[in-house]
């Protein structure tokens, strides 16, 4: 397997996003199932596991600590700070240095480790300069509590400001056929600065698998219910796009999910997608996408079929979009 660079590390070209094992898409699976899936991922060859303090309000980090703590040397561990639960029990964005330090200490405890390999600022706190937040992350590197710094959902300008304080190893932002915002400026900034781009939701929260056809069946707590692209009228229009995409997958001899991941892997060696799943079958399917190399013709056709001009609906609602520091189409 050809590894990809991730800051000072090397990892599998496809990593595992662990959020949905504890958070965001309705009731999480039983803990025993999640632990089996994490072990299977490691044995399969996944070597990047991505979590965050806010996922399940600490439970996702607890899960990784229990399941993989004794195999810590076998993978790159990524987590995030700057977004957690405040004293009133409400999810909040807080990038104050003292809060970042406290969150890191708590994450280390939950993860059962002395050091986190890659530690992201999950969101930029508009009340705190990114220089202040990154300054504390730099202190945590110096103290040996984290090894490398990442940023999540940031603009190219914010990345450059942060990078001037301390080298940034990775930027994590949503990127897939149906979310092209990083192509505006962040991808180029990452190339310029030598920063790895980690693509979350590379399967468009299930849309690009072709398996999510009935959004009415989504759990009432599923975050997609509040996303404009998953509103009934928009989603019906978006599903219509998949007809021609399926023809490309048939031509390439792969599944829709593998097609979407192969498209991303082929964009740049600097990109590492981190699809999440609760299914062992999908875990294997996603990992196998590394064996798919698209023809230039297929890649160009996909570009034309699904892009910012053909997808219906914004990726976030107005309230959530206010929290995001990225360039948007």
pLDDT 10s digit of each residue in the chain, 329 long?
A: 799 999 999 999 999 999 999 989 999 999 999 999 999 999 999 999 999 999 999 999 999 999 999 999 999 999 999 999 888 888 999 999 999 999 999 999 999 999 999 999 999 999 999 999 999 999 999 999 999 999 999 999 999 999 999 999 999 999 999 999 999 999 999 999 999 999 999 999 999 999 999 999 999 999 999 999 999 999 999 999 999 999 999 999 999 999 999 999 999 999 999 999 999 999 999 999 999 999 999 999 999 999 999 999 999 999 999 999 999 98
- What domain count does the chain have? 1
* Residue 329 included in any domain: no
177 is a domain residue = yes
120 burial level (CB within 10 Å; 0-12, 13-18, 19+) = buried
Residue 92 lies in a domain: yes
Establish if 310 belongs to a structural domain. Answer: yes
pLDDT for the residue numbered 90? 87
In the Cβ-directed half-sphere of 112, how many Cα atoms lie within 13 Å? Answer: 15
Q: From the CA atom positions of the chain, what is the Rg in Å?
A: 19
The pLDDT value recorded for residue 236 is 97
* CATH code of the domain in which 87 resides: 3.20.20.100
pLDDT value of residue 88: 85
Report, as residue numbers or ranges, the catalytic residues: 55
Domain span at residue 92 reads 4-321
Domain membership of residue 328 (yes or no) is: no
Q: Is there a domain that residue 113 lies in?
A: yes
């Amino acid at each position: 397997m050809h590894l990809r660079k991730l800051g000072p590390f090397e990892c599998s070209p496809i990593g595992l996003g662990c959020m949905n094992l504890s958070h965001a898409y309705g009731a999480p699976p039983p803990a025993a199932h999640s632990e089996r899936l994490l072990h299977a991922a490691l044995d399969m060859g996944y070597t990047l596991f991505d979590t965050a303090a806010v996922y399940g309000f600490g439970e996702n980090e607890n899960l990784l600590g229990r399941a993989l703590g004794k195999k810590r040397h076998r993978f790159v561990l990524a987590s995030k700070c700057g977004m957690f639960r405040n004293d009133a029990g409400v999810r909040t964005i807080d990038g104050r240095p003292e809060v970042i330090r406290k969150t890191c200490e708590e994450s280390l405890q939950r993860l059962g480790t002395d050091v986190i390999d890659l530690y992201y600022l999950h969101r930029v706190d508009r009340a705190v300069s990114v220089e202040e937040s990154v300054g504390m992350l730099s202190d945590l590197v110096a103290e040996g509590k984290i090894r490398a710094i990442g940023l999540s959902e940031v603009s190219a300008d914010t990345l450059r400001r942060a990078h001037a304080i301390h080298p940034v190893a990775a930027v994590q932002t949503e990127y897939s056929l149906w979310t092209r915002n990083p192509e505006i400026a962040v991808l180029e900034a990452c190339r310029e600065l030598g920063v790895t781009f980690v693509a979350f939701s590379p399967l468009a929260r299930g849309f690009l698998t072709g398996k999510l056809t009935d959004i009415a069946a989504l759990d009432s707590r599923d975050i997609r219910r509040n996303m404009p692209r998953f509103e009934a009228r928009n989603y019906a229009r978006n599903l219509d796009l998949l007809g021609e995409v399926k023809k490309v997958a048939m031509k390439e001899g792969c599944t829709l999910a593998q097609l979407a991941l192969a498209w991303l892997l082929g964009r740049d060696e600097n990109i590492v997608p981190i699809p999440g799943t609760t299914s062992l079958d999908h875990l294997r399917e996603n990992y196998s996408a590394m064996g798919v190399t698209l023809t230039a013709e297929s890649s160009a056709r996909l570009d034309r079929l699904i892009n910012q001009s053909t997808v219906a609906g914004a990726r976030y609602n107005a309230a959530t979009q206010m929290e995001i520091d990225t360039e948007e189409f």
